[in-house]
Amino acid sequence: MTTLENSIFIAASPDQVWKVLARLDGLAEYDPAIAEARIETRERSGLLAERRCELKDGNWFRERVTAWEPERALAFELCECSFPVRSLAHRYQLTTENGGTRVEQRMQYELKLGPLGAVLDALLVRRQWNAGIRAFFAGLKDRVESPDEPRQAGPDTLHAAPS
């Protein structure tokens, strides 16, 4: 199992960050890899709500909310995807810091393909997904700190699987 940990400081309150992060169908507004995010369940938010995300590169994933603590924590578990992934879970922790919010993400995943998956992870996947998480965080920061300026789609970047 691989673990990736990233964090970012956002000059906004946990409430402001939460409003963006917890809008499950809003991911394409700030994640440069996402073309569309849509809710797949009757629940639009909270535990067990699910979303399906279409990536700009043609891949897709569906994930379920496994932790919902307003203004504190949000977690997802992968349900299915087009990637060779056996399991994936990621959690966001929000804490007040210096008049703003520190957002920490911890992602744990395991690829399919046995030993070949481990080699692919070490050579390519881990680096690509980490770059994608950083791009996701940069988009989240821009969206929260400049809510009236929608993020413009730029050139495709390396992306993380579910963010």
Pairwise CA distance, residues 61 & 89, whole Å: 12
**pTM score:** 0.86
pLDDT digit string (tens) for 12-42?
Answer: 999 999 999 999 999 999 999 999 999 999 9
Pairwise CA distance, residues 79 & 63, whole Å: 5
Residue of 157, 162, 144 whose CA lies nearest to 52: 162
pLDDT digit string (tens) for 102-135?
Answer: 999 999 999 998 898 899 999 989 999 999 999 9
Q: Which residue has the higher pLDDT, 161 or 65?
A: 65
pLDDT at 158: 34
Q: And the tokens for 151?
A: 């993020």
